[in-house]
Amino acid sequence: MSRVYYDRGLMIEVDDFKFLFDPRVNADFQSANMVLVSHGHSDHVSGLLEASENIRVGASTITHEITRLVREKRERKSLENTVYLDRKFGIKTEEYSIEAYDAGHCMGSLQFKIDTGEHLIGYTGDINFRESMTEGKAEVMDCDILMIEATFGSEEYIFPEREELNTEILDYVEKIVSDGIPVVLMGYSLGKCQELTRLISRGLDYNILVSKQIFEFNRIFERYKYMLGRYFEIDSEKGKEIIEEGKMVILLPQSNLGKNAPERLAKTFNLPRPPKVAICSGWAVNRSFFFSMQQAYNIDTVFPLSSHADFNQLLEYISNVEPTKVYTTFGNPVSLAKQIKRQLKINAQPVVNKLQQTLDVYTLDQEPQIT
Ligand SMILES: [Zn+2]
């Protein structure tokens, strides 16, 4: 392998061949020979949403569907040159073969393994090793060079068991909604909110209201996987009826947060009383997250429900794969690379921005600018 760097997407060069993973807006599509997208979160798919329609790109059926939906809303034509790479499927050319593996992160999320003849190169995208209400665990890819996400790649990020968290969330919702106070649970529209829809609809008997985008993502999930339960779009006629009745759980993305969120949400959605607002995010294992969110938005509580691997799981994955070289990317790449070297004695390096410097002169004490 000749080079790996970050330039509005993760670029891997193998001789003269360039793979571009998860391109951001204005990524260098021109010089990439193959573009691969791991999942539909905006920090991984944003480049595709704006790219010209003839870009050749590999992603899962669900990620292509999400891309199509968002492009349509932006009045952009659908991509014409799509390659469908669902789990265990792949493509083979003279130069390489690519295989897709489950990433366990959100619907349609994949890891990719490229066989170049000389190396097996794995790219995890975002991964999760805890089975959730809606996704299975990420699979372990056998490879000698591993590009791994480092979102929670620092020792303080250890998540509680999911069953414990699920019970805590259900108990919290039950206690508040039974008193006639609405609850707003906030998390990513894609992934977290499908999980919350299923958790609440299976565990409690209250009406669930969701934003338009969550509603659309839930419908995509149901088209390709299974039914999530009973829920309604918050702005629909039925949604308005439920709001009048007063007992409900509302699922919204965090973009709905604002100064004094309960009053603001009550006004926006015409709720009978200001709701209790809870954020579901892996960052919540750090108590300062709660205090800063409470101070900024007057939220009530947080739950560290994450769709990512925690620090221990990242190390466990790497020790199971036993690669000869690991590149860390996204989130905490410097800290994770240090710990991989220290604890696993495996060669590891954070991926740096192309414009910053070459990997040869890079030292682990410097914080790379991952854009
Ligand atoms: Zn993601």
Question: Does some domain include residue 146?
Answer: yes
Q: List the domain range (segments joined by +) for residue 78.
A: 3-155+308-361
Q: Ligand 1 centroid to 128 CA: how many Å?
A: 10
Tell me the CA distances in angstroms from 75 to 27, 65, 71, 217, 219, one per residue in order: 20, 15, 6, 18, 21
- What is the C-alpha separation between 141 and 123, in angstroms, rounded? 9
In this prediction, residue 315 carries a pLDDT of 98
Specify whether 179 is located in the same domain as 59. no
CB contact at 8 A, 209 and 251:
yes
Q: Ligand 1 centroid to 126 CA: how many Å?
A: 5
The SS3 assignment for 363 reads: coil
Q: How many residues are there in the chain?
A: 371
Q: What is the pLDDT of residues 45-62, one digit of tens each?
A: 999 888 888 888 999 999
Question: Does some domain include residue 183?
Answer: yes
In this prediction, residue 176 carries a pLDDT of 97
Residue 87's closest CA among 128, 125, 138? 138
Domain endpoint, select from 282, 303, 324: 303
Give the whole-number percent of the chain exceeding pLDDT 70: 95
Q: Ligand 1 centroid to 70 CA: how many Å?
A: 16
Question: Does some domain include residue 343?
Answer: yes
Q: What is the pLDDT of residues 106-129, one digit of tens each?
A: 999 999 999 999 999 999 999 999
**Who's near 300: CB < 8 A, 6+ residues apart?**
262, 276, 277, 278
Question: Does some domain include residue 366?
Answer: no
| Average pLDDT rounded to a whole number, residues 223-245 | 96
Specify whether 147 is located in the same domain as 172. no
Residue 231 half-sphere exposure toward CB, CA atoms < 13 A:
32
Specify whether 7 is located in the same domain as 141. yes
Q: Ligand 1 centroid to 228 CA: how many Å?
A: 20
Q: What is the pLDDT of residues 247-275, one digit of tens each?
A: 999 999 999 999 999 999 999 999 999 99
In this prediction, residue 1 carries a pLDDT of 64
Q: Ligand 1 centroid to 165 CA: how many Å?
A: 20
Question: Does some domain include residue 371?
Answer: no
Specify whether 202 is located in the same domain as 218. yes
Specify whether 151 is located in the same domain as 185. no
Q: What is the pLDDT of residues 214-230, one digit of tens each?
A: 999 999 999 999 999 99
Q: Ligand 1 centroid to 181 CA: how many Å?
A: 32
Question: Does some domain include residue 35?
Answer: yes
Residue 81: pLDDT band (50, 70, 90) is confident
For CA atoms 130, 143, 20, 55, give the dihedral sign: negative
Specify whether 28 is located in the same domain as 145. yes
Specify whether 263 is located in the same domain as 314. no
Q: What is the pLDDT of residues 83-94, one digit of tens each?
A: 899 887 788 888
Domain endpoint, select from 270, 286, 303: 303
CB contact at 8 A, 264 and 299:
no
Question: Does some domain include residue 367?
Answer: no
CB contact at 8 A, 111 and 38:
yes
Please say if the pLDDT value at position 346 is more than 70.
yes
Q: Ligand 1 centroid to 149 CA: how many Å?
A: 10
Residue 100's closest CA among 45, 65, 152, 138? 138
Q: Ligand 1 centroid to 191 CA: how many Å?
A: 8
CB contact at 8 A, 152 and 332:
yes
Q: Ligand 1 centroid to 121 CA: how many Å?
A: 20
Specify whether 26 is located in the same domain as 122. yes
| Average pLDDT rounded to a whole number, residues 135-152 | 96
Q: Ligand 1 centroid to 357 CA: how many Å?
A: 27
Q: Ligand 1 centroid to 360 CA: how many Å?
A: 29
Sheet holding 145-150, edge to edge: 90-92, 97-102, 110-115, 120-123, 145-150, 325-331, 347-350
Please say if the pLDDT value at position 328 is more than 50.
yes
State the Rg of the chain over Cα: 21
Q: Ligand 1 centroid to 274 CA: how many Å?
A: 31
Q: Which long-range contacts (CB under 8 A, 24 or more apart) does 157-162 make?
A: 157/282, 157/285, 157/286, 157/310, 157/311, 158/285, 158/310, 158/311, 158/312, 159/130, 159/282, 159/285, 159/304, 159/306, 159/310, 160/285, 160/304, 161/130, 162/130, 162/131, 162/132, 162/305
In this prediction, residue 356 carries a pLDDT of 46
Q: What's the total number of domains in the chain?
A: 2
CATH code for the domain of 24:
3.60.15.10
In this prediction, residue 354 carries a pLDDT of 64
Residue 359: pLDDT band (50, 70, 90) is very low
- What is the C-alpha separation between 340 and 269, in angstroms, rounded? 47
CB contact at 8 A, 268 and 278:
no
The token pair that represents 242 in the structure block: 């439920």
Q: What is the pLDDT of residues 279-302, one digit of tens each?
A: 999 999 999 999 999 999 999 999
The token pair that represents 351 in the structure block: 């991926």
Torsion, CA 182, CA 187, CA 189, CA 194, rounded to 10: -80
Specify whether 169 is located in the same domain as 195. yes
Q: Which ranges in 184-285 belong to alpha helices (H)?
A: 192-203, 212-224, 237-245, 261-269
Q: Ligand 1 centroid to 178 CA: how many Å?
A: 33
Q: What is the pLDDT of residues 14-39, one digit of tens each?
A: 888 899 999 999 899 998 999 999 99
CATH code for the domain of 203:
3.40.50.12650
Specify whether 168 is located in the same domain as 139. no
Specify whether 138 is located in the same domain as 66. yes
In this prediction, residue 310 carries a pLDDT of 97
Q: Ligand 1 centroid to 40 CA: how many Å?
A: 7
Report which residue type is found at 275: P
Range with the lowest mean pLDDT among 65-69, 124-128, 362-366?
362-366
- Sheet strands (E) in the chain: 3-6, 10-14, 17-21, 34-36, 56-59, 81-84, 90-92, 97-102, 110-115, 120-123, 145-150, 183-186, 207-210, 232-233, 248-252, 276-280, 301-303, 325-331, 347-350
Residue 355: pLDDT band (50, 70, 90) is low
Q: Ligand 1 centroid to 218 CA: how many Å?
A: 16
The SS3 assignment for 105 reads: coil
Mean pLDDT taken over the chain: 91
Please say if the pLDDT value at position 304 is more than 70.
yes
Q: Ligand 1 centroid to 76 CA: how many Å?
A: 23
Q: Ligand 1 centroid to 65 CA: how many Å?
A: 16
Specify whether 8 is located in the same domain as 151. yes
Q: What is the pLDDT of residues 158-207, one digit of tens each?
A: 999 999 999 999 999 999 999 999 999 999 999 999 999 999 999 999 99
Q: Ligand 1 centroid to 22 CA: how many Å?
A: 11
Q: Ligand 1 centroid to 41 CA: how many Å?
A: 5
In this prediction, residue 55 carries a pLDDT of 87
CB contact at 8 A, 35 and 20:
yes
